[in-house]
Amino acid sequence: MLWTGDSEEGDLRDWYRPCPNAAPCGNEGGGEFDSGGGYSAITSSYVHSGHYAVVQTINSTAESGTRLFRWAEQRSNPELYYSTWNYFQQGFAPANGYGWWMMEGWKVRRTQGAPVNNMLHLILDYTFDPTQMYLRLNYYPPGGGAMRRYTQRIKAMPVGNWFRLQTYVRASRTATGQIIVWLDGVEIFNVNNIVTQGSGTDGTPQWEITNYGYNLSPRTVTKYVDDAIISTTP
């Protein structure tokens, strides 16, 4: 294991390490980035292990998001496994025929010094059924081109039970990259021979766990996350 986020310090400092506190220090390896009123906090209400977990909350009446990033580990490790335990008290779905929701993602700088752009999104597929919440994979090629969608009906995200989401990402500036996603140990995506890194030396993937969406029913979506891990082996 290269990094763990178990929240047992009672704050979000794990996401900022090597900073000693839950705030930027000029050398942070990640951190919290919010928009539209979304926020991440520490809770003891629902935990997977120990005493504390992260709760991520949004009100989707307007576009709203909260994101916890890690980017330090990827800079020296082109192949990594990312793992989180997740919990939903209730299911949700797009409202009034349209809405969207994102669970995790990876961003990259497409060229040296460029802004950070989307690369991989694990998002809610459009079943409009809160009891059938399937993930979809959206891939945005770092070199440009049309976004690609990958869908599955192998396994839905459970509601009312902790579940594990694990992802393998092989970073590559050429079409030799790969992403594999497992939900509770069941492989739901395996996309190979893709570009998964920007062209510059600062183009390594940046992982984000998110609660980010718009126009959902119910409007307020709460997600609990615990025992996050970045490792070089499963």
Tell me the DSSP string of 152-205: --S-PPPSSS-EEEEEEEE--SSTTEEEEEEETTEEEEEEEEE--S-SSTT---
Q: Is pTM, for the whole model, over 0.85?
A: yes
- In angstroms, the CA 189 to CA 142 distance is 19
In tens digits, the chain (234 residues) has pLDDT values of 999 999 999 999 999 999 999 999 999 999 999 999 999 999 999 999 999 999 999 999 999 999 999 999 999 999 999 999 999 999 999 998 799 999 999 999 999 999 999 999 999 998 889 999 999 999 999 999 999 999 999 999 999 999 999 999 999 999 999 999 999 999 999 999 999 999 999 999 999 999 999 999 999 999 999 999 999 999
pLDDT at 97: 79
pLDDT at 100: 97
Domain boundaries, the chain: 3-231
pLDDT at 25: 97
CATH number of 3-231: 2.60.120.200
pLDDT at 215: 97
Is it true that the peptide bond before 18 is cis, omega within 30 degrees of 0?
yes
pLDDT at 127: 87
pLDDT at 26: 96
- In angstroms, the CA 69 to CA 89 distance is 24
pLDDT at 19: 98
For the chain, what is the largest distance between any 2 Cα atoms, rounded to a whole number of angstroms? 45
